[in-house]
Amino acid sequence: MPTSDQPAVAGTPPKENQWLNLLCNVVLPTLIFMKLSPETRLGPMWALALGCALPIGYGIYDFVVRKVFNLLSVLGLVAVLVKGVFGLLKTSAFWIACSEAALPLLFGIAILFTVRGKEPLVQRFLLSPQLFDIERIRRQLALRGNAEQLRPLMVTTSVAYAGTMFLSAALNFVLASRLLVAEPGTDEFVAQLGKFTGMQYPVIALPLTVLTVLLFLWVMNRLSVLTGVPAESLLAGGQSPGKDGISI
């Protein structure tokens, strides 16, 4: 929906909330399959169907309304299918470890794949109106003759973030291989799966969150250098600089 200071242009797709995109295509489908697949709840088949319905529905909506192909919907669907199929087949611990590594691995590959395109995937999420004052950034880059420096910055950021995804995939695989050693479907395996899920936060999620925050702060610092504007003033809703002599 266009805002009051950004009137809609005929033929231009409406702006997309990238966080809603991520939530519907990745976070919710994964949580649905993880939390609702036990037989005491929906069961693996219905949890898989519901988990797949979200990215499929969102992808169709995006294509009909915005006339664009949503890569994240495809990634979310494939990731849920991989985890679901391995879960339904009750495959060996090795393949379950592979399924745990599938999502971050797919994301890392997708990030690198989009680097050659018009807009890298990381740029779509990082430089979003929900986080940054995009117009201010582009205006200041143009005023200082640094407009061409934005893409190399986003490419470097994309490669670095893809590296964190590959690290996540490797850690997921190693942790799952070490902990999930019982026969799938047994009570012992369920207990091991619970332990694996509990250890994912301190061993995988926490370090990767720290790396992501550090990468974000580095990007903010680079944008501040390129635009000549204090980093906090580049954020959405940030205050304009007062005495630095820069008109924004």
pLDDT averaged over 10-residue windows placed end to end, the chain, 248 residues: 43 65 81 75 80 86 78 74 69 79 88 89 85 93 95 96 94 90 73 76 86 94 96 80 44
Nearest to 204 by CA among 176, 239, 238: 176
| 12-to-21, 67, 92, 129, 224 alpha-carbon distances in Å | 19, 10, 49, 17, 30
| Cβ neighbours for 178, distance < 8 A, ≥ 6 positions apart | none
Q: Phi and psi (nearest 5°) for 26?
A: -130, -55
The predicted pLDDT at position 9 comes to 43
The predicted pLDDT at position 88 comes to 66
109 close to 92: Cβ distance less than 8 angstroms: no
The predicted pLDDT at position 10 comes to 45
Nearest to 112 by CA among 76, 59, 69, 166: 166
The verdict on pTM exceeding 0.85 is: no
The predicted pLDDT at position 239 comes to 61
Q: Domain-by-domain residue ranges, the chain? A: 15-89, 91-238
- Give the CA diameter of the chain: 68
189 close to 183: Cβ distance less than 8 angstroms: yes
Compute the distance between CA of residue 136 and CA of residue 115 in angstroms, rounded to an integer: 24
